[in-house]
Amino acid sequence: MKGRRPVGTRPVETGPVRMGPWRFVLWFGTVSLLADIVYEGARSVTGPLLASLGASALVVGVVTGAGEAAALGLRLVSGPLADRTRRFWGLTIAGYALTVASVPLLGAAGVLWVACALVIAERVGKAVRSPAKDTLLSHAAAATGRGRGFAVHEAMDQVGALIGPLFVAGMLALTGGDYGPALGLLALPGLAVLGLLYRLRARVPDPEAYEREAAATAVTASDHQAGDRRLPRVFWTYAAFTATTTTGLATFGVLSFHLVQRHLLSAAWVPVLYAAAMAVDALAALATGWLYDRHGPRVLIALPVLTAGVAMLAFTDTLGIAVAGSLVWGAAMGIQESTLRATVADLVPSDRRATAYGLFAGVVGAASLVGGALIGGLYGYSIPLLITVVVSAQVLAVVLLIVTGAPRR
């Protein structure tokens, strides 16, 4: 059931749906695949590119940190804005346009401050589009199965995350390290992103129709809470679970630091291991998405288990075990990027979903920041203590998940 629209806002564009829900998910996944080629290709060389323009390590750290803060923090604004205006397609297209324009311009930037501004602008584009994009996807996923819909989208997203950095690396090798052609050619998939988005909007101007049709034969969380402007209590408990488990998940930066500092792996092999972790990410997303649609949110118990496993495996001094820990990290990331987001859509009414996605991103971002600092600090002090703290946090996360008792669609 569709919730009440706030007074004074324009209605979302409506029209006949001329595409099946699975086709919509696949085409939307293609958009993300192409966009990931663009911005993950650029992000893979942000550090050396800024250094080539005279940036210090401090400047690189501040700029990239500010970009990530903008990508997550600004969703607290863009999410409620999407719900108030109902301009989901407009915000999605605007966010992607900012990203795909920033990357080729970054390759042409010859001045450090311009390059820094473009790095941050690319991340702002992600903040603008993400809550609206996730809401559009959630409507189609209501018909395909939320877990599977988000999982397929995440798997396609990761294909782009693999292709982009490899493409840029190949172009740099061909041009002798010239960033201009490498990033400039990324304008081509960027143009394809915008073309596909306009086509999708024309074919499916009102993706919420998918959810209305699915709701005709099944009771949803939205049916029980339509018109209530408050986010449900279960959402906040679920957010607490997410924050707790995310705090214990080490970043790949810390994992690779350990591998290189302990002389388990050379720096040249780190990108290869990262690519392998991204492949596991895609497989884990597909597996848990399918299980979520069959068994509900209880499958999310795998996330704290995997997170604890990362700490216990990745920080050993045995290469095989440490590499296995990095692959387990990839599996945890796959669940975090797909099934966690799918569950949000099952907990929150349609008319407040973009706001929920914005707040959820803020929770994940804050927990990632705290966790990164905590695990980085404990790594330098005591690895056994690090493992103990992470495992304890995951036990608490399991308790919070049980308390959440998230309803099925």
- Residue 228: the pLDDT is 53
Q: How far apart are the first and last CA of the chain?
A: 13
Question: Does residue 313 contact residue 322 with C-beta atoms inside 8 Å?
Answer: yes
- Residue 276: the pLDDT is 83
Residue with the larger pLDDT of the pair 139 and 251: 139
- Residue 25: the pLDDT is 93
- What residues contact 208, with CB distance under 8 A and at least 6 apart? 2, 12, 139, 350
Cα–Cα distance, 369 to 11 (Å, whole number): 37
- Residue 19: the pLDDT is 81
- Mean pLDDT rounded to a whole number for the chain: 84
Cα–Cα distance, 228 to 174 (Å, whole number): 57
Query: Confidence class of residue 173 from pLDDT cuts 50, 70 and 90?
Result: confident
Task: Write the pLDDT tens digit of every residue in 297-337.
Answer: 888 999 999 999 999 999 999 999 999 998 999 899 889 88
Cα–Cα distance, 330 to 308 (Å, whole number): 13
SS3 4: coil
Question: Does residue 104 contact residue 63 with C-beta atoms inside 8 Å?
Answer: no
Task: Flag the least confident range among 48-62, 185-199, 228-242.
Answer: 48-62
Cα–Cα distance, 141 to 3 (Å, whole number): 18
C-alpha separations of 176 from 110, 271, 272, 380 in Å: 17, 20, 21, 38
Residue with the larger pLDDT of the pair 111 and 275: 111
Query: Confidence class of residue 405 from pLDDT cuts 50, 70 and 90?
Result: low
Cα–Cα distance, 305 to 68 (Å, whole number): 27
- Residue 17: the pLDDT is 58
Task: Write the pLDDT tens digit of every residue in 136-171.
Answer: 998 998 888 888 888 899 889 888 988 888 888 888
Question: Does residue 365 contact residue 69 with C-beta atoms inside 8 Å?
Answer: yes
SS3 349: coil
Task: Write the pLDDT tens digit of every residue in 94-129.
Answer: 999 999 999 999 989 889 999 999 989 999 999 999
Q: Give the tokens for residue 395.
A: 């036990």
- Residue 6: the pLDDT is 43
User: Measured in whole angstroms, how far is the alpha carbon of residue 343 from the centre of its chain?
Assistant: 14
Ranges of H-type helices in 262-318: 270-295, 302-314
Asked whether the predicted pLDDT for residue 37 surpasses 70, the reply is yes
